[in-house]
Structure 1
Amino acid sequence: MSKKILIATDKPFASEAVKGIKNVIDQAGYELVLLEKYTEKQQLLDAVANVDAAIIRSDIFDNDVFEAAKQLKIVVRAGAGFDNIDLEAATSHGVCAMNTPGQNANAVAELAFGLAVYAVRNFYNGTSGTELAGKKLGIHAYGNVGRNVARIAKGFNMEVYAFDPFLSAEAIEKEGVKAVKTVEELYSTCEFVSLHIPATAETKNSINYELLNKLPKKALLINTARKEVINEAEIVKLMEDRIDVKYVTDILPSNHAEMAEKFAGRYFSTPKKMGAQTAEANTNAGIAAANQIVDFIKNGNECFRVNK
Structure 2
Amino acid sequence: MAKVLISDKLSDAAVQIFRDNGVEVDFQPDLGKDPVKLAEIIGNYDGLAIRSATKATAELIAKADNLKVIGRAGIGVDNVDIPAASAKGIVVMNTPFGNSITTAEHAIAMMFACARQIPEADASTRAGKWEKSKFMGAEITGKTLGVIGCGNIGSVVASRAIGLKMKVVAYDPFLSAERATEMGVEKIEEVDELLTRADFVTLHLPKTATTANLLNAERIAKMKKGARLINCARGGLVDEAAVAEALKSGHLAGAAFDVFAEEPAKDNVLFSAPNIVCTPHLGASTSEAQENVALQVAEQMSDYLTRGAISNALNAPSVTAEEAPVLKPWITVAEMLGGFAGQVTESAIKEIEIEYVGRVGQLNLKPLTAALTANLLKPLVGEGGVNMVSAPVVARERGIKIAETRKDEQGAYGTYMRLVVVTETQTRSVAGTIFSDGKPRFIQIKGIGLEAELQPAMLYTTNTDTPGYIGALGTTLGKLDVNIATFALGRAEKGGEAIAFLGIDGEIDKDTLARIEALPQVRQAKFLRF
TM-score, length-normalised on structure 1? 0.88
Residues 1:146 and 2:154 aligned together: yes
CA-CA distance at 1:275 after TM superposition: 1.1
Residues 1:23 and 2:26 aligned together: no
CA contact 1:100–1:288 (8 Å) conserved in 2: yes
Aligned to 1:267: 276
Aligned to 1:305: 313
CA-CA distance at 1:25 after TM superposition: 0.9
CA contact 1:101–1:144 (8 Å) conserved in 2: no
CA contact 2:99–2:284 (8 Å) conserved in 1: yes
Aligned to 2:5: 6
Aligned to 2:110: 115
**Residue 296 of structure 1 aligns to which amino acid in structure 2?**
Y
CA offset digits 1:53-74 (Å, max 9, x no partner): 2221112111011111111121
Which has the larger displacement, 296-305 or 141-150? 296-305
CA contact 1:7–1:55 (8 Å) conserved in 2: yes
**Residue 52 of structure 1 aligns to which amino acid in structure 2?**
D
CA offset digits 1:243-297 (Å, max 9, x no partner): 3342111125658554332x22x21211x21111111011001111111212333
Alpha-carbon distance in 2 for matches of 1:30, 1:224: 36
Residues 1:102 and 2:97 aligned together: yes
Residues 1:209 and 2:217 aligned together: yes
Alpha-carbon distance in 2 for matches of 1:25, 1:202: 39
CA-CA distance at 1:299 after TM superposition: 4.6
Alpha-carbon distance in 1 for matches of 2:105, 2:206: 18
CA change 1:296–1:185 in 2 (3 A) is: farther
CA contact 2:113–2:277 (8 Å) conserved in 1: no
Which has the larger displacement, 291-300 or 67-76? 291-300
CA change 1:31–1:227 in 2 (3 A) is: same
- Work out which of the two has the higher radius of gyration on C-alpha atoms and give 1 or 2: 2
CA offset digits 1:76-100 (Å, max 9, x no partner): 2111211121121111111121221
Aligned to 1:137: 145
Aligned to 1:46: 40
Aligned to 2:27: 34
CA contact 2:236–2:261 (8 Å) conserved in 1: no
CA change 1:148–1:90 in 2 (3 A) is: same
Which has the larger displacement, 23-32 or 293-302? 293-302
Residues 1:230 and 2:235 aligned together: no
CA offset digits 1:116-135 (Å, max 9, x no partner): 11111123523331111111
Alpha-carbon distance in 1 for matches of 2:210, 2:202: 18
**Residue 6 of structure 1 aligns to which amino acid in structure 2?**
L
Aligned to 2:84: 89
Alpha-carbon distance in 2 for matches of 1:172, 1:55: 37
**Residue 37 of structure 1 aligns to which amino acid in structure 2?**
D
Aligned Cα root-mean-square deviation (Å): 2.1
CA change 1:299–1:118 in 2 (3 A) is: same
Aligned to 1:165: 173
CA change 1:119–1:71 in 2 (3 A) is: same
Which has the larger displacement, 136-145 or 226-235? 226-235
CA change 1:154–1:203 in 2 (3 A) is: same
**Residue 21 of structure 1 aligns to which amino acid in structure 2?**
A
* Runs of 5+ unmatched residues, structure 2: 122-131, 317-530
TM-score, length-normalised on structure 2? 0.53
**Residue 240 of structure 2 aligns to which amino acid in structure 1?**
E
CA contact 2:4–2:45 (8 Å) conserved in 1: yes
Alpha-carbon distance in 2 for matches of 1:118, 1:94: 46
| Aligned residues between the structures | 298
Aligned to 2:71: 76
Alpha-carbon distance in 2 for matches of 1:48, 1:69: 5
Alpha-carbon distance in 2 for matches of 1:63, 1:253: 22
CA change 1:80–1:257 in 2 (3 A) is: closer
**Which of 280, 290, 296 lines up with 2:298 in the alignment?**
290
**Residue 178 of structure 1 aligns to which amino acid in structure 2?**
E
**Residue 249 of structure 1 aligns to which amino acid in structure 2?**
F
CA contact 1:5–1:55 (8 Å) conserved in 2: yes
Q: Percent identity?
A: 32
**Residue aligned with 1:97, SS:** strand
Alpha-carbon distance in 2 for matches of 1:295, 1:30: 10
CA change 1:191–1:230 in 2 (3 A) is: same
Alpha-carbon distance in 1 for matches of 2:143, 2:288: 30
CA-CA distance at 1:166 after TM superposition: 3.0
Which has the larger displacement, 250-259 or 218-227? 250-259
CA-CA distance at 1:137 after TM superposition: 1.0
Alpha-carbon distance in 2 for matches of 1:190, 1:47: 52
**Greater strand percent: which structure?**
2
**Residue 170 of structure 2 aligns to which amino acid in structure 1?**
A
